């Protein structure tokens, strides 16, 4: 496994319940600020294997990025179950719910 992939898994695993991070923020925390698309790839291919809290990662606007209805509502349901307020449009207030790792 590539070191960046390992770092992405560690960063995503560290997002606490009730908080979110953006794809770009995860990429920066993992050491590669321009690799947001790679974060998407890691989430897609490794969420199940590593039991990642995939639902806690959103786009730069604080929106659920998944477009198909089933995935959108599944992510929304997971976030709301953790106390994150999600608008009908899938938007999350990053000022309130964004996690800033140390």
pLDDT digits (tens, 9 = 90+) for 46-85: 999 999 999 999 999 999 999 899 999 999 999 999 999 9
Domains and CATH numbers, the chain: 3-97 (1.10.10.10)
pLDDT computed for residue 101 by the predictor: 87
pLDDT computed for residue 20 by the predictor: 98
pLDDT at 102 over 90: no
Question: How many degrees, rounded to 5, is the angle at CA 41 between CA 12 and CA 23?
Answer: 45
pTM beyond 0.75: the answer is yes
Tell me what the mean pLDDT of segment 8-27 comes to.
98
Distance CA 88, CA 85 (A): 10
pLDDT over 90, % of the chain: 96
pLDDT computed for residue 1 by the predictor: 79
Beta-carbon contacts of residue 49 (< 8 Å; ≥ 6 apart): none
């Amino acid at each position: 496994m590539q070191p960046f992939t390992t770092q992405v898994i560690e960063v995503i695993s560290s997002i606490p319940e009730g908080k979110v991070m953006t794809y770009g923020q995860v990429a920066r925390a993992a050491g590669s600020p321009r690799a947001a698309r790679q974060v998407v790839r890691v989430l897609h291919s490794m969420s199940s294997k590593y039991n990642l809290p995939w639902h806690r990662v959103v786009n730069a606007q604080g929106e659920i990025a998944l477009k198909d209805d089933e995935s959108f509502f599944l992510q929304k349901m997971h976030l709301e179950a953790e106390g994150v307020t999600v608008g009908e449009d899938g938007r999350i207030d990053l000022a309130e719910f964004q996690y800033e790792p140390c």
